[in-house]
Structure 1
Amino acid sequence: MKVHVNGIDDGKPIPEKFAFGVYSEENHMNFGPNRNPEVSWQDAPEGTRSFAVVMFDPDVPSEADDVNQEGKTVSRDLPRVDFFHWLLVDVPASTSRIPEGEDSDGVIPKGKDPGPGPIGVRGVNNFTQFLADNPDMAGTYGGYDGPCPPWNDELIHHYHFEVYALDVETLGLEGEFDGEAVREAMEGHILASDRVTGTYTLNPDLR
């Protein structure tokens, strides 16, 4: 099975049109176009009954005290955790492409609805927790929301776009399910998978 993410080469920087946040010399960060990239795949194994799409960043600081704080930096040595940016399950076996902008086209304050989307069923990404204390942005963020790493992070972040071929038509997930729920539901049902990894930073010293 082979996955292709149009516009993102493995190990290379992610274009700003796919980002939730883009670099700003004046404000550190402005909202970006936040379009999901086109993801396509081929050579799924026989017996595939659905697909799941997962995009996550494993480089998110485990402590947020210094995140985006003037005069401070987030140390590259700080332990890191996974941050899910895109969860799409129950993608029909007949599907082999998600078009650019199909699941996200712009930053939506308070988030897009989880549940059935244009293709498959959307889970809840971690912007839900990240923006919970922002009264203008707090809400439930379903589907795709792109890169927006801390602008004072010493580490360049990596974003894994993964597609899984599954032996079930549905994972049986409903409501506001998260990335860990998707991983748990997929256990024992993965026939094949592949990933493309892009990088992104808002730190002007690393750009």
Structure 2
Amino acid sequence: MTANNPFARLPEVPGFTVTSTTLTDGGQVPAEQYSGIFGVPGGKDASPQLSWSGAPEGTKSYAVTVYDPDAPTGSGFWHWAVADIPADVTALDEGAGDDAGSGLPEGAYQLPNDARAARFIGAAPPAGHGPHRYVVVVHALDVEQIGVPAEATPAFLGFNIAGHILGRAVLTVTGETPA
């Protein structure tokens, strides 16, 4: 695991609170949040339940991202990206990020992750690679719609978020696949 900070080059913004009934900040990835698609035993690719509060005044929408900065790719690995979550929504149910985005609020949409699937894909660190961090972020934005095409990459979404971010709520968990 590298010690790099995925936010080191992003604008500093106020923090707010994100919690989860599925994940514990600083804890381990539960079995359901591992990737069944990538063949991790017990993995169900179930997006985590998330709740947030205390976003900055002027928040007009949210985006949610899940990123593994420790993936052996040179650029990390984006597991989930959701844009245009309305400002009056402050929670997502576990499993909201299925193939259809069935648990997402009206107007919100999923972008293709780094496996090119517009859905949540669970943790799948290479066996024996060591622990990976999974950084779950709720971004509070100053626009109702971010204006990023649904087929864009999460990195492109992040680039656009940087110009509209009012606050950031972060929860980090760790996962590892034994050798």
Same fold (TM over 0.5): yes
Give the whole-Å Cα distance in 2 for the aligned partners of 1:177 and 1:161: 19
Report the counterpart of residue 85 of structure 1 in structure 2.
79
Q: Name the aligned partner's letter for residue 150 of structure 1.
A: P
Report the counterpart of residue 125 of structure 2 in structure 1.
149
* Structure with greater strand share of residues: 1
After TM superposition, give the deviation of residue 21 of structure 1 in Å.
4.2
CA deviation vs aligned residue, 1:15-36 (integer Å, no higher than 9, x gap)? 00111149xxxxx843612111
CA deviation vs aligned residue, 1:70-99 (integer Å, no higher than 9, x gap)? xxxxxxxxxx43200010010000100001
The answer on 1:121 being equivalent to 2:96 is: no
The normalised TM-score by structure 1 is 0.72
Give the whole-Å Cα distance in 1 for the aligned partners of 2:36 and 2:125: 8
2:96 alignment partner, one of 102, 108, 121:
102
After TM superposition, give the deviation of residue 113 of structure 1 in Å.
6.2
Structure ID, larger Rg: 1
Report the counterpart of residue 17 of structure 1 in structure 2.
32
In the alignment, structure 1 segments of 5+ residues that lack a partner are: 23-27, 63-79, 105-111, 129-140
Structure 2 counterparts to residues 1-207 of structure 1, below 5 A? 1-21=16-36, 29-30=40-41, 32-62=43-73, 80-104=74-98, 112=99, 118-119=104-105, 120-128=108-116, 141-153=117-129, 155-204=130-179
User: What SS is found at the alignment partner of 1:196?
Assistant: strand
- Provide the aligned length of Structure 1 versus Structure 2: 162
Give the whole-Å Cα distance in 1 for the aligned partners of 2:127 and 2:43: 14
The normalised TM-score by structure 2 is 0.82
After TM superposition, give the deviation of residue 7 of structure 1 in Å.
2.6
Calculate percent identity across the aligned residue pairs: 31
User: What SS is found at the alignment partner of 2:157?
Assistant: helix
Provide runs of 4+ in structure 1 moved above 4 Å: none
After TM superposition, give the deviation of residue 50 of structure 1 in Å.
0.2
